[in-house]
Amino acid sequence: MQPTTLGDVSFWYADIGLPQSRRPALRADAQVDVAIIGAGYTGLWTAYYLKKAQPDLRVAIVEKDFAGFGASGRNGGWCMGTFAWNHEAYARATSRAAVLQMVQELEATVPEIARVCQAEGIDADMLPTEEMMVATNPAQLARMKAEIAHRSHWGDGHRIRELTQAEVAQRISLPNALGAMVVSGMARIQPAKLVRGLALAVERLGVTIYEDSEALSYDAGQVVTPHGRLMAPIILRCTEGFTAAIAAHKRDWLPLNSAQIATVPLPPEVWAKIGWQGHELIGDMNNAYCYCQRTREGRITVGARGVPYKFGSKIDSNGRPDPETVRRLTAVLRQHFPAAADYGIDHAWCGVIGVPRDWCATVGLDPATGLGWAGGYVGVGVSTSNLAGQTLADLALGKTTRRTGLPWVNRRVRQWEPEPLRWLGVHLMYRLLHIADAREARLGIAPSRFAAFGNWLTGRH
């Protein structure tokens, strides 16, 4: 089953159309108060909150391609508001109370995004729903119960509940489902609609977005692009998975590849078999997990890692995935949604997410140099980028707020290893995760030690 379209950035842009024209590039030196590198969610949210706080501030964004070209226009559309990293790692550096505060701040991002969409007239197909992580074998069920206990300990207990096999079946028909973890307070979105609307909103506030203006390098006071410098006392790097393309930051965050497929719109008789009337964000408790959405027009999108990492931190070409990744995603679709197996795959695409060496997101600003950053979201950037943008704006304006005291602020971690070590490590990790999933499914054993070793190898927890 070959997709009708490969790449072309993403299905989400096929849905609404790629930009018909580009915003002008930076063609000469320019001076502003705050310069932002990257016109994805993080850069745009930062610009939005900066201008809302101080309307006369001169803010400009330089973007290598077009606004929303990266993960912001390619992701799975899961607006989650959850803490997805190692709670203990943050707590060791700060305190349990600080981590619990960050859990609360993240939960508040989903209603905040909904508020801004309403205020700014952004139609992002935003639909309130829940996350449902399904266990399909005893090992997954044990991991799910442990995850519920862990999250409850770290402040998310009011959002989480466990569903029995019968309760899952009332919502959705998933073969072999034994139970599920449900997390409330989430939303499904069309990610390209959100980023396009946000870009227009910041322009209305007076922010300049320079497209086709790659940041070749930057240091205190200036960003160097092919045809001009953008000079500012505050420079904020918001490049997420594309950070490795900046030479001096090649090993800061690893660009981990993730890919998706979208089916054709499914007919009513297929949806009658599947159910899924609540449009829940569906995933599984595999070690190498998947993420799925029921779209506005009745398609199923399925995402997973596929071939996870390209040697030398190389990035995909315009979102075009490799055949093996498409094969794996199609197999996941057939496994979880057999009623849709005979219908065509309309689109397949991929993109990169930013992964720090400890798999923990950070936001920061060095007052001495004026250089700041945010990212390393490890796949949960839709809502996390909103909190990052609010926090970066506070830091850039020199404010002390509840956000600037959160445990991810100014957190520093070591770089990734040089090649070929990082390629070998990441590919070995995912090989071990797939072995673990196969053993768990085949043998019904307790959670596999293969997965534990693979995660330890790369610092993933």
**Tokens representing residue 23 in the block:** 């915003």
The strand pair at 371-375 and 281-284 is best described as unpaired
Q: Per-residue pLDDT tens for 62-118?
A: 999 999 999 999 999 999 999 999 999 999 999 999 999 999 999 999 999 999 999
According to the 3-state scheme, what is the secondary structure of the chain? CCCCEECCCCHHHHHHCCCCCCCCCCCCCEECCEEEECCCHHHHHHHHHHHHHCCCCCEEEECCCCCCCCHHHCCCCEECCCCCCCHHHHHHHCCHHHHHHHHHHHHCHHHHHHHHHHHHCCCCCCEEEEEEEEECCHHHHHHHHHHHHHHHHHHHHHHEEEEEHHHHHHHECCCCCCEEEEEEEEEECCHHHHHHHHHHHHHHCCCEEECCCCCCEEECCEEEECCEEEECCEEEECCHHHHHHCHHHCCCCEEEEEEEEEECCCCHHHHHHHECCCCCEEEECCCCCCEEEECCCCCEEEEECCCCCEHHHECCCCCCCCHHHHHHHHHHHHHHCHHHCCCCEEEEEEEEEEECCCCCCEEEEECCCCEEEEECCCCCHHHHHHHHHHHHHHHHCCCCCCCCCCCCECCCCCCCCCCCHHHHHHHHHHHHHHHHHHHHHHHCCCCCHHHHHHHHHHCCC
pLDDT at 461: 67
Distance of alpha carbon 337 from the chain centroid: 24
**CA neighbor of 10 nearest in space, from 76, 79, 78, 73:** 73
pLDDT at 446: 64
The strand pair at 300-304 and 254-263 is best described as antiparallel
* Residue 60 identity: A
Q: Per-residue pLDDT tens for 191-200?
A: 999 999 999 9
Alpha-carbon gap, residue 53 to 330, rounded angstroms: 46
pLDDT at 451: 76
Share of the chain above pLDDT 70, in %: 98
46, 233 in Cβ contact below 8 A? no
pLDDT at 341: 94
Distance of alpha carbon 345 from the chain centroid: 23
- Treating both helix axes as pointing N-terminal to C-terminal, what angle do 96-107 and 381-396 enclose, rounded to 10 degrees? 110
Q: What's the average model confidence in pLDDT over 357-369?
A: 97
**Tokens representing residue 247 in the block:** 């030479």
At 14, give phi and psi (nearest 5°).
-65, -35
| 267 Cβ contact list (under 8 Å, min separation 6) | none
Q: Is the pLDDT of residue 336 over 70?
A: yes
Alpha-carbon gap, residue 304 to 288, rounded angstroms: 8
Q: Is the pLDDT of residue 38 over 90?
A: yes
Cα–Cα distances in angstroms (integers) from residue 446 to residues 131, 141, 421, 437, in the given order: 24, 9, 30, 11
pLDDT at 453: 75
Which residue's entry shows tokens 């790449």?
A: 7
340, 266 in Cβ contact below 8 A? yes
Answer whether 0.85 is exceeded by the pTM.
yes
Burial of 235 (C-beta count, 10 Å sphere; 0-12/13-18/19+): buried
Q: Is the pLDDT of residue 447 over 70?
A: no
Q: Per-residue pLDDT tens for 131-174?
A: 999 999 999 999 999 999 999 999 999 999 999 999 999 999 99
pLDDT at 456: 80
- Treating both helix axes as pointing N-terminal to C-terminal, what angle do 421-443 and 449-458 enclose, rounded to 10 degrees? 160
pLDDT at 460: 78
- Residue 162 CB: number of other CB atoms within 10 A? 14
* Residue 100 identity: L
**Tokens representing residue 207 in the block:** 């922010």
Alpha-carbon gap, residue 74 to 239, rounded angstroms: 14
Q: What's the average model confidence in pLDDT over 220-237?
A: 98
pLDDT at 327: 93
When the pLDDT of each residue in the chain is averaged and rounded to a whole number, the result is: 95
pLDDT at 118: 98
Q: Is the pLDDT of residue 177 over 90?
A: yes
Q: Is the pLDDT of residue 274 over 80?
A: yes
pLDDT at 378: 95
